[in-house]
Amino acid sequence: VLTLVKAKHPATDKAGFSSEAYKTGLRAYIASLATAGENGDQLIQKASEMMDGLKESVGDSGQAQLVAIYLSLARDLEEQMKLISSPAAKTAMSKGFETFLKRVRGQSNEFNILNWVAETFRGMAEAFDTGKGELSAETIQYYAEASSTYDTILQKAGTPGWLPQPQYKLQIQLQVAAINRRIGKYQEAVNSLEAILKDNKMVLGVQLEAAKTYQEWAGDSRANPKMYELALGGAREDEKSGEKLIWGWIKLSKMTANKEQFADAFHESRLNIARSYLEYAQRSQGADQQERLDRAKRAIEFTAKLYPEMGGEKWKPQYDQTLRQIQSKLGEKQVGLAEFIAADAGG
């Protein structure tokens, strides 16, 4: 098929045919890098040819399409790595990808390529990231590679016309903040999010990331547990208005309530109000602990009474699991949401 595409055979004239063929070829060559051995350089050359062909196939007017194609490739590679159970095999695959990505990064000045490199490194880091305990060396390394590449993009973003669309800058800034949060650079993450919110505090994705960052920061054993109050109630005062630039979970839940397009953000906020109080309670004692457990439980009860569907399949099990943890800490029967459903049914 690629031979026909390169020869511009009439059979390949169908819209999207060429780009799909190059995308498939690129995916195959990259996937082969893990076991390339001495053929690594040859495969990298073939993959580079696929990238050139892909760029030509979409043309100058297809830059947004090209970005989407590369992002889908990054997600494919991440899923491919997550399916590998053997640590040795996963490391071997990542080394093949790493060599190729570093070479591409050093040779390219295009947004879609650099963004793909960053996204792929981030996906590789997440494939090694178990979400528990200390981060592995590979996780830290690939998050660092992703962050470094995102920084390069942000440095170039000021060049007129370099970004295919202006909103990509905000997306990159969010990714950098999320990486800093994950590797424990909470101060850097919050500072960068604050800088964005000074220009526009209504950016929902940034507000969610900021609240999440404060909550995880508070959960760090080295941090003052009072940080949970910032995750809940907001932080960083605006010098002009006197209002908090970072809203926190409580205001986020109010700002997104009863707005269908923000349903996920609402339930994420309501759930994390309960989780923040629960986590805060676990680092408290005596009356303070009791009060925070009560607040955690009331947060879920309030949501259950006003929104009995509890966000459906995505959110309801998470509410139920969190409530069971709260009930356990309170010394109550761990029945989850059934406690409130039964109470409502009874009158």
pLDDT in tens, 179-197: 999 999 999 999 999 999 9
Cα angle at 308 between 305 and 311, to 5 degrees?
Answer: 125
For range 269-294, the mean pLDDT: 98
Size of the chain, expressed as the number of residues it contains: 347
Residue 169: which pLDDT band, with cuts at 50, 70 and 90? very high
For range 143-147, the mean pLDDT: 97
Tokens 């929104």 belong to which residue? 307
pLDDT for position 65: 75
CB atoms within 10 A of CB 42: 11
For the range 154-161, what are the long-range contacts, defined as Cβ-Cβ under 8 Å and sequence gap of 24 or more?
156/109, 156/111, 156/114
For range 279-303, the mean pLDDT: 98
CB atoms within 10 A of CB 100: 21
Whether residue 40 is predicted with pLDDT greater than 70 in this model: the reply is no
Tokens 């962050």 belong to which residue? 147
Report the C-alpha gap between 19 and 53 in whole angstroms: 8
Nearest to 28 by CA among 90, 80, 63: 80
CA distances from 60 to 54, 65, 257 (A): 12, 10, 42
Whether residue 273 is predicted with pLDDT greater than 70 in this model: the reply is yes
Claim: this prediction has a pTM higher than 0.75: yes
Residue 48: which pLDDT band, with cuts at 50, 70 and 90? confident
pLDDT for position 178: 96
* Choice between 275 and 60, residue whose per-residue pLDDT is larger: 275
Whether residue 11 is predicted with pLDDT greater than 50 in this model: the reply is no
Residue 51: which pLDDT band, with cuts at 50, 70 and 90? confident
Nearest to 316 by CA among 211, 330, 324: 324
User: Is residue 268 a contact partner of residue 255, using CB atoms and an 8 Å limit?
Assistant: no
Nearest to 26 by CA among 58, 14, 15: 58
For range 321-341, the mean pLDDT: 96
Nearest to 269 by CA among 232, 302, 296: 232
Report the C-alpha gap between 78 and 117 in whole angstroms: 12
pLDDT for position 270: 99
Whether residue 326 is predicted with pLDDT greater than 50 in this model: the reply is yes
Nearest to 300 by CA among 329, 337, 263: 337
Alpha-carbon Rg for the chain in angstroms = 24
| H-assigned helices in 83-221 | 87-107, 111-128, 137-156, 168-182, 186-199, 204-219
With b for 16 or more beta-carbon neighbours within 10 A and e for fewer, the 154-173 pattern comes to eeeeeeeeebbeeebeeebb
Residue 56: which pLDDT band, with cuts at 50, 70 and 90? confident
pLDDT for position 343: 56
Q: Which residues contact 254 (CB under 8 A, 6 or more apart)?
A: none
